[in-house]
Amino acid sequence: MTRRCDEIGAHMSIAGGLHHALERGRELGCGAVQIFLKNQRQWAAKPLGADEIRMFHAARRRTGIRRLFAHSSYLINLASPDPSAWAQAVTAFTDELERAEALGLSCVVIHPGSHMGAGLEPGVDRVTAALDETLARTSGCRVKVALENTAGGGNSVGRTFGELAALIDRAARPERIGVCVDTCHLFAAGYDLRTEKGYREAMAECAATVGHRRVLAFHLNDAKAPLGSGLDRHEHIGRGSLGLTPFRLLLNDRRFARVPKVLETPKEPEPAADLRNLAVLRRLRRRLGR
């Protein structure tokens, strides 16, 4: 088993059962794991069984992995202008929050969605309404929503920290909402993290809008596309347009020392790709004496 850094990990497959994701994470030395809660390409799924929940909690105790959270289905579009699609998205996201609560996860990451040409402000309003509805339906739950910043392509909502802050500020239950910061998406949206100055400016904007304490998770991904491209194309750490500097700065930023940071880099070859990327992150983390 590989040496573990408590806040660093990767997105793990749930093939064969949710609990297997934790076993896979342990083999890689993960201290943090992100999972899908069901087949993310399908709307419907059978309810979690008591045995599934029991095995997941047992695996959590056995592996010692404490930082666990989920990513929602990519089918869900909380910004949809179509009433039927919007209602379907709300129902699906409610189900995901309930599943995450049963498993004891800290948060569920979700892309705010696409306004599909209806305009940013109407899109923000629909996302806010969707968040209000899902959080009302899960009022007895502790699990939080982590809004992920987008790469900025097409009609996406949530490209900037300011847009994410607007969603939180307008929500009826902001205490259950935070953000997940994706490094590739930041770069694609125009945040130049390749220098210390650029990194500091981006994090200062985060502090002034969202607030550092609302950062619930990070997705650590290099970028295949150039700065400001709007393209969501992940690359292995240090092999893309970002380089190593932003990851070194982030991993040694004490403000985020306890925030889980997971890879969403290409999996092929598996598991060698994750092992290599995690090894790079661990080396960067040690350089400043951490």
Catalytic residue, from 60, 99, 176, 185: name it: 185
Catalytic residue, from 182, 191, 214, 222: name it: 182
CA-closest candidate to residue 63, choices 36, 28, 39, 102: 28
CA-closest candidate to residue 130, choices 73, 101, 92, 182: 92
User: Does 169 qualify as catalytic in the annotation?
Assistant: no
Catalytic residue, from 4, 67, 159, 234: name it: 234
Torsion angle of the four alpha carbons 178, 180, 185, 190, in this order, in degrees rounded to the nearest 10: 40
User: Does 71 qualify as catalytic in the annotation?
Assistant: yes
CA-closest candidate to residue 184, choices 146, 147, 228: 228
269 by DSSP, 3-state: which? coil
Residue 289, both tokens: 């004496």
Catalytic residue, from 4, 24, 60, 71: name it: 71
User: Does 74 qualify as catalytic in the annotation?
Assistant: yes
User: Does 191 qualify as catalytic in the annotation?
Assistant: no
User: Does 254 qualify as catalytic in the annotation?
Assistant: no
Amino acid identity of residue 144, one-letter, is: K
What are the distances in angstroms from CA 276 to CA 244, 265, 271, 273, 280?
Answer: 14, 11, 9, 5, 6
Catalytic residue, from 137, 264, 276, 282: name it: 264
Catalytic residue, from 219, 248, 274, 285: name it: 219
User: Does 219 qualify as catalytic in the annotation?
Assistant: yes
63 by DSSP, 3-state: which? helix
Query: Where do the H-state alpha helices sit in 104-177?
Result: 120-137, 161-170
Catalytic residue, from 133, 163, 222, 232: name it: 232
Catalytic residue, from 3, 41, 61, 258: name it: 41
User: Does 121 qualify as catalytic in the annotation?
Assistant: no
Active site amino acids: 41, 71, 74, 111, 148, 182, 185, 219, 232, 234, 264
